[in-house]
Amino acid sequence: MKLQPRKEPRQARSRAMVDTILDAMSRVLVERGYAKTNTNLVAESAGISVGSLYQYFPNKDALIFALRERHVSRMLGLFEDVVAHIDAAGSLREDFDKLIGALVAAHLLEPELNRILEEEFPAYNLPVSSEIRQRFFEAIRRVLEKHRSSITTPDLDVATFVLQRMLKALINAVVLTGPGGLSAGSVRPEILPAVIGYLTAPREDSQA
């Protein structure tokens, strides 16, 4: 399956065209779902010919891959901005409260598209670029490094990996699959104690 675009947009006009196509893909995918989405509908929604679309994307799967990359990049931008503005004097609890808030906000960015990409395509195994995963990892690790003396986890890389997966799972459960009447706002405060508990729990090796 070919997921990469046919060519990378380098000029402003080409980048604008790709954004127009991806905006159209998002609309059609949200309205119709994967099975009923095709390149002809996307081209029509974008106001271009299907031939123009094929100059950039070989098939609808490549469109979904590019759409997910753009969506996750936007989420990353929100998250990195919060990390960059964390107060040097903030406590471990205060800092992770901000991080959790940023991740909830990021998951609520384009919520219907996010729901489709997270719920309909895990089995489809759409990859996310290693650069994006690494930047999320590094942002979390910087906060852990700031609080090295306050946490009991001996390996910051392992702790970062666990937190990255833990936060994604917990926030997805709230934002995407919470039962009716259960809002992100009502559950978000419960995520923080889980994170702080993991980071500060007594370790068996430290008690020996």
Q: What ranges in the chain are assigned the alpha helix state H? A: 12-32, 39-46, 50-54, 60-84, 92-107, 111-119, 130-146, 156-175, 184-200, 204-207
CB 189 within 8 A of CB 143: no
Which pLDDT tens digits describe the chain residue by residue (208 residues)? 454 555 565 678 888 999 999 999 999 999 998 889 999 999 999 999 999 999 999 998 889 888 988 888 888 898 999 999 998 899 999 999 999 888 888 878 888 888 887 776 644 455 567 888 899 999 999 999 999 999 998 999 999 999 999 988 887 777 766 556 666 666 778 889 999 999 999 977 654 4
CB 199 within 8 A of CB 151: yes
Q: Full-prediction pTM beyond 0.85?
A: no
| CA 200 – CA 152 distance, rounded (Å) | 5
DSSP 47: T
| CA 50 – CA 28 distance, rounded (Å) | 15
Residue 82, amino acid: V
CB 204 within 8 A of CB 135: no
